[in-house]
């Protein structure tokens, strides 16, 4: 972290390491994927300063999800088009990394689950439960 020149950014990563119990490898991945900058783009200047002092606070349900989600850890070729199944398999193979990238409080429930809504049946690709929001998060095409 000594390479990070901005004091607010460095403090943000220090707080996230402490709160999220990141390993050295995970911290380096988050720094290399510009987590601070991605969060800063979606907030005002004062919000960024608050973020640096207090870490990421969960004030509303959308704060649990990162936006955008960066999937560089899947090592997918950017010039190649992938099928839904290819992407799902890649995510399952690197599930721990995907859940860390997705945001806070996610637990994996399963894949290819059938759900029924008002008499209609659907297949959901990935099912997560978020313990902070106390709700399911469904990922499908």
pLDDT tens digits, residue range 64-116? 666 666 777 788 888 888 888 888 888 888 877 777 778 888 888 888 899 99
Q: Which residue has the higher pLDDT, 2 or 79?
A: 79
Query: Residue 124: what pLDDT?
Result: 92
Q: Which residue has the higher pLDDT, 20 or 127?
A: 127
Query: Residue 42: what pLDDT?
Result: 64
Cα 117 to Cα 95: distance, rounded to the nearest angstrom: 27
Q: Which residue has the higher pLDDT, 61 or 23?
A: 23
Q: Is the pLDDT of residue 57 over 60?
A: yes
State the helix-helix crossing angle for 84-93 and 95-102, rounded to 10 degrees. Answer: 100
Query: Residue 116: what pLDDT?
Result: 92
CB-count burial class (<10 Å; 0-12, 13-18, 19+) for 74: middle
pTM across the whole model = 0.44
């Amino acid at each position: 972290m000594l390479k990070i020149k901005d004091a607010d950014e460095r403090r943000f990563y220090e707080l996230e390491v402490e709160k999220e119990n990141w390993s050295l490898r995970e911290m380096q991945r988050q720094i290399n994927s510009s987590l601070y900058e991605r969060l800063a783009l979606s907030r005002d200047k004062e919000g960024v300063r608050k973020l640096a002092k207090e870490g990421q606070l969960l004030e509303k349900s959308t704060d649990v999800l990162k936006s955008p989600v960066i999937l560089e850890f899947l090592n997918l070729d950017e010039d190649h088009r992938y099928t839904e199944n290819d992407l799902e398999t890649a995510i399952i193979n690197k599930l721990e990394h995907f859940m860390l990238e997705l945001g806070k409080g996610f637990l994996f429930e399963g894949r290819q689950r059938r759900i029924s809504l008002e008499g209609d049946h659907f297949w959901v690709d990935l099912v997560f439960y978020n313990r902070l929001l106390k709700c399911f998060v469904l990922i499908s095409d």
